[in-house]
Amino acid sequence: MHSVLSLLLAHGVGGRSDLPISEWIAAWSGAIALLLSFAALGLLWHHPKFPQALIGRLVPTPKFLTQIFLLLVRAIAMTLFLVVLTACFFGPDNTVSNIAPTTIFIIFWVGMPLSAAVLGPYWKVISPWENLGKWIDRIRPNSESVAPKWLTSGWLALVPITVFHWLELAYHHGSSPRVLGWCILIYTVLLLLMTWRWGWEETRKIEGFGVLFSLAAAISPIFVDQKNKLRIRYPFVGISSLRMTPASVAVVLAALGGTAFDGVSRTDWWLDLIVGKTGASWTLVNTLGLAWVSLIIGLAYHQASRIGSRLTSDKNFAYKLGGSLIPIFLGYDIAHYFSLLLLEGQAFKILLSDPYGQGWDIFNTASHAINWTVISTTTIGWIQIGSIVGGHLLGVLFAHDRSVELWSARTALRSQYPMLVVMVIYTIIGLVLMTG
């Protein structure tokens, strides 16, 4: 007998956290690792090494087969999108037995950035909005209207990310399939209307998920060059190719902030604060918490960048080094959600066999159960520490490489002090949060 919750689950989906890892020791070792690596970089790494590694090498791909493959992948993704969207409205109205919440909060939100970091910019191939947008581009009348500044600046990309976080972490009905359905529908329609008016090239800039996933994909060894050819290079160096804008830095910071709040909301302190709160008051407290944590994360970076700007007299400091936030975000993401993806994510396989709750068993997986012991808690703990520390180390590494490229060795080193402080703070916060 299984009884399902039709109401909220505290964190989008999933009510299982990992065991706390060993407290402050982790935080201190992380901070020390950062400081040591910073010192080592300052002593040994005087010339930028990433830019020349950007070119990579060509991967020969048979044209015909590639096209068939892409078409197939696109068709599958589009079908899944439509299934999830319709299941939102016509499937069972509860978080666990409807396929939508699991797909959206786990497979999409956790799975996409992590897999993009490995497999490259494949979201562009499968994104329903990308595909619909390009299709609208083909049929829309040629219009002369120039896209307005609010669209092209890309700042609006913050909206989908923020709304998503709010649904996931703050709103008490955020994981209800019906609510999710309406959000997807409204978002899709708005994007398509803007595409109709100004074209997909411009509208893409505010498709926040696409923006975030393509930033994550920069870490991947796989990439596509300007001639649309598939190439490979060393993993991670691709960050150097990104031209971050203030808006895209803000998107990564927002994503980071939400993940950090997810950590905060699992602490004993927060649980005691929130216990007994329901409905609107639950939403209110969480909204404030989400805004507060995001603000701290954002302000810390902003402040460090301001100091950095003065030290280097470069007013674009904040986004020239913004790429270092990407591995940090991915590190946080792995630490917080990797076990969710691996464990609760199994529900996707089960639900896929019966997406509308009709008793179907399309893939013969409907009767499977989640195996909670596929990975030991010790392994999870190590992965958590490793990903947070590793993410920050990569962030420091990139920031250093970029700064010796931009400035003289002395200025470069000096410019890194404020960044280092922020990284150490982020690392300690990140690791302390994992200890719950």
Partner 1 sequence: MQKLRKGVLKNMKKIFLGLTFSVLISCSSDIAEEVSPTSMAADQDETHETHETHETHETHETHETHETHETHETHETHETHETHDHDHDHDHDHDHENSLDVSQLADPPMVFISGVETETGEVSLNFSVENLELVPVNPPSEHKSGEGHLHLYVNGASIAMLHETTYTVTDLAKGSHSFRVTISTNDHREYSVDGEVIADSFSLEVHGGEEAQDSDSQIDVEVEGGTVVGGIQRLKAKIGDQVRITVSSDVEDEFHLHAYDLTLQISPNEPATLIFEADIPGVFEGELHDAGYQILSLEVS
List interacting residues with partner 1 (CB under 8 A): 1-10, 14-20, 92-94, 96-97, 172, 268, 271-282, 284-285, 288-289, 291-292, 295-296, 299, 303, 306-307, 310, 343, 347, 350-351, 353-354, 357, 359, 366-370, 372-373, 376-377, 436
For residues 346 and 130, give the distance between their C-alpha atoms in angstroms, rounded to a whole number.
Answer: 27
Nearer to partner 1, 232 or 342 (CB): 342
Minimal distance in Å, beta carbon 330 to partner 1? 23
Least distance CB 354 / partner 1 (angstroms): 5
Indicate the burial class of 39 (C-beta count within 10 angstroms; 0-12, 13-18, 19 or more): exposed
Q: Report helix, strand or coil for 303.
A: helix
- Residue 408 has which token pair? 């003289």
List the strands of the sheet with 57-58, edge to edge: 57-58, 230-232, 222-224
77, 126 contact by CB (below 8 A): yes
Q: How far is CA 203 from the centre of its chain?
A: 20
The nearest distance, CB 372 to partner 1, in angstroms, is 4
> In angstroms, what is the minimal distance from the CB of 304 to partner 1?
10
Least distance between partner 1 and beta carbon 249 (Å): 18
Residues forming a β-bridge with 231: 58, 223
Question: Strand pairing partners for 232?
Answer: 57, 222
Query: Residue 58: beta bridge partners?
Result: 231
CB of 58 or CB of 284, closer to partner 1: 284
CA distance 265 to 80: 31
- Minimum distance from CB of 305 to partner 1 (Å)? 12
For partner 1, the closer of residues 304 and 399 by Cβ is 304
Question: Do the beta carbons of residue 12 and residue 345 sit within 8 Å?
Answer: no
Q: Which is nearer to partner 1, 156 or 366 (CB)?
A: 366
Please state the separation of Cα 41 from the chain's center in Å: 28
User: Closest CB to partner 1 among 48 and 436?
Assistant: 436
d(CA 377, CA 129): 38
Looking at beta carbons only, is 354 or 401 nearer to partner 1? 354
Partners of 57 in the β-ladder: 232
Nearer to partner 1, 19 or 78 (CB): 19
Torsion of CA 175, 179, 182, 188, to 10 degrees: -20
Give the nearest distance from C-beta 87 to partner 1 in angstroms.
13
Q: Which is nearer to partner 1, 163 or 370 (CB)?
A: 370
Least Cβ distance, residue 317 to partner 1 (angstroms): 14
Beta bridge mates, 243: none
